[in-house]
Amino acid sequence: MSLSFYNTLSKKVEQFVPIDPTGKNVGLYTCGPTVYNYAHIGNFRAYLFGDTVKRALQYCGYEVNHIMNLTDVDDKTIRDSQLAGKTLEEFTAFFTEEFKKDSAHLNIVPPSRYTRAVEHIPQMIELIEALIEKGYAYKSNDGSVYFNVRKDTNYGQLSKVTLANLEKRPFGRDESSAAGRIAKDEYEKENASDFALWKAWDENDGEVFWEPKGLLGGRTSIGKGRPGWHIECSAMSMEYLGAHFDVHTGGVDLIFPHHENEIAQSECATGEQFVNYWLHNEWVMVDGKKMAKSAGNFVTLRTIIKKGISPLAFRLLMLMSHYRSPVNFTWEALEGAENALKRLHSHFLEYGGGGSVNEKYTELFTKNIENDLNTPLAIATVWDLIKDPTIPSVDKKVTLLNFDAVLGLGLAELKKETIPVEILALADMREQARKEKDFDRSDELRAEIEQAGYTVKDTEDGPVVAKK
């Protein structure tokens, strides 16, 4: 078998074949956070998913160029920076740093490059210009620029949205009117609508605007304003990965309109297919509802850390479900995952070094990962390996370490706690007493070790002392 993914575009599990003729390099784009607040753990399911896709590609031998955008200018960042009385730059810089810290806590490998929207405005304007030139975009009377979905005969290829309502309107409608157009970055209407590529400045934008003429050396007639959200991702992904690249990830709620619009803008501007594989993770739910900032039912990583729970327990909890299944978040489930994580870590610490990779379990694990990232079965393989009495523990250790390149559960970083020498001396004395079959003495020494706040466990590799 080889690596395969469920492609939202074809609605099928497909074998992964990279565009690169050498078969080595892969371009991967993950829609990143809007840096206007702390990301919640529902959002982090999407970033953990992007990270898992990257790790799986690397595990299968590919070199991955992974790009993640930071949406640092849009309706929400402008609105909330004004409410906070801060410049857009100051405001988004703070939440960008918090996002990076949270990602590090979750063992998310930083992308090859984070791309900030505000640093790619000229690329966005070039793209908009190309769309106007080719007749796919039009300027409205207020100076904003909209994408004309009716001109794109492939519109709806990803989400299968319908153009029905648009078609009901009289042909040759007045493009200066607002009918059928959506100025907001986010909309939920099931029907396609013309969407904003460039938003003309109005007083609500305050200090936030760009002058395209200056940026493009006068080569544009687009007036003062700011980009729409969708064009940001098209411009930044194509800048670093090329007009046609391999994999694009995000949560299912981005399929429409965001990803549909990304495809429309990019393919109409370049005339090429934009992305080969579209991968989407399902939601984190709370009591049957999607976890969302607007629903007020969200949990951030801060709360998890404050409760003394390891962020990696959340990572494990997400891996225990397939990415295409919704996960109902409960504190009990998270505590269960934390117990499992502790068990995994303590087994790993007990194993000695110097073994060799177990082929049978590696094959099983790899098959599960290759099969559309079946992480729940891959985790089951981890436990099967741990429980298998026929495998030497030194082999278990190296094999688990290899698995962790995909799982990211922090095994490589685990260190035996430094145990004070006097406690180790007590453990040595206890081991000596046991060897001499002086069990009263060995029990006394164990009690002394426990009183000092440590435990001693007898394993096949000898006694292991740990902090309680």
Question: Residues in the site for ligand AMP, rule: CB under 6 A?
Answer: 31, 33-34, 42-43, 45-46, 250-251, 253-254, 281, 283-284, 290-292
Q: Which CB sits closer to Zn ion, 31 or 319? A: 31
With tokens 């955008």, the residue in question is 69
One character per residue 184-223, x = contact with Zn ion (rule: CB under 5 A): ----------------------------------------
Q: What is the number of the residue whose Cβ is closest to ligand AMP?
A: 251
By CB under 5 A, residue 68 contacts Zn ion: no
Report yes or no: 146 and 194 within 8 Å, Cβ to Cβ: yes
Question: Smallest distance, Å, CB 258 to Zn ion?
Answer: 6
Question: Smallest distance, Å, CB 328 to ligand AMP?
Answer: 11
Q: Which does 34 bind (CB under 5 to 8 A by kind): ligand AMP, Zn ion, none?
A: ligand AMP
Mark the segment that binds Zn ion (CB under 5 A) among 48-56, 176-184, 216-224, 225-233: 225-233
Question: Smallest distance, Å, CB 33 to ligand AMP?
Answer: 5
Q: Which CB sits closer to Zn ion, 42 or 410? A: 42
Q: Which CB sits closer to ligand AMP, 290 or 347? A: 290
Q: Which CB sits closer to ligand AMP, 326 or 463? A: 326
Q: Which CB sits closer to Zn ion, 31 or 284? A: 31
Q: Which CB sits closer to ligand AMP, 87 or 297? A: 297
Question: Smallest distance, Å, CB 338 to ligand AMP?
Answer: 20
Q: Which CB sits closer to ligand AMP, 232 or 395? A: 232
Residue 229: name the closest of 21, 45, 78 by CA: 78
Q: Which CB sits closer to ligand AMP, 40 or 397? A: 40
Q: Which does 43 bind (CB under 5 to 8 A by kind): ligand AMP, Zn ion, none?
A: ligand AMP
Q: Which CB sits closer to Zn ion, 75 or 350? A: 75
Q: Which does 46 bind (CB under 5 to 8 A by kind): ligand AMP, Zn ion, none?
A: ligand AMP
Q: Which CB sits closer to ligand AMP, 103 or 281? A: 281
Among 41, 233, 378, 465, binds Zn ion (CB under 5 A): 233
Q: Which does 233 bind (CB under 5 to 8 A by kind): Zn ion, ligand AMP, none?
A: Zn ion
Question: Smallest distance, Å, CB 96 to ligand AMP?
Answer: 13
Question: Smallest distance, Å, CB 31 to Zn ion?
Answer: 3
Compute how many other C-beta atoms are within 10 angstroms of the C-beta atom of residue 251: 21
* HEC assignment per residue over the chain: CCCEEEECCCCEEEECCCCCCCCCEEEEEECCCECCCCCEHHHHHHHHHHHHHHHHHHHCCCEEEEEEEEECCCHHHHHHHHHHCCCHHHHHHHHHHHHHHHHHHCCCCCCCEEEEHHHCHHHHHHHHHHHHHCCCEEECCCCCEEECHHHCCCCCCCCCCECHHHHHCCCCCCCCCCCCEECCCCCCCCECCEEEEEEECCHHHCCCCECHHHHCCCCCCCCCEEECHHHHHHHHHHHHHCCCEEEEEEEHHHHHHHHHHHHHHHHHHHCCCCEEEEEEECCEEECCEECCCCCCCCCEHHHHHHCCCCHHHHHHHHHCCCCCCCEECCHHHHHHHHHHHHHHHHHHHHCCCCCCCCHHHHHHHHHHHHECCCHHHHHHHHHHHHHCCCCCHHHHHHHHHHHHHHHCCCCCCCCCCCCCHHHHHHHHHHHHHHHCCCHHHHHHHHHHHHHCCEEEEEECCEEEEEEC
Question: Smallest distance, Å, CB 70 to Zn ion?
Answer: 11
With tokens 């404050």, the residue in question is 306
| Number of residues located near Zn ion, criterion CB under 5 A | 2
Q: Which residues pair with 454 in a beta bridge?
A: 467
One character per residue 2-41, x = contact with Zn ion (rule: CB under 5 A): -----------------------------x----------
Q: Which does 196 bind (CB under 5 to 8 A by kind): ligand AMP, Zn ion, none?
A: none
Question: Smallest distance, Å, CB 11 to Zn ion?
Answer: 21
Residue 153's Cβ-count burial label (10 Å; 0-12, 13-18, 19+) is exposed
CA 271/CA 269 separation, integer angstroms: 6
CA 249/CA 233 separation, integer angstroms: 12
Q: Which does 60 bind (CB under 5 to 8 A by kind): Zn ion, ligand AMP, none?
A: none
Mark the segment that binds Zn ion (CB under 5 A) among 104-112, 233-241, 296-304, 447-455: 233-241
Q: Return residues touching Zn ion (CB under 5 A).
A: 31, 233
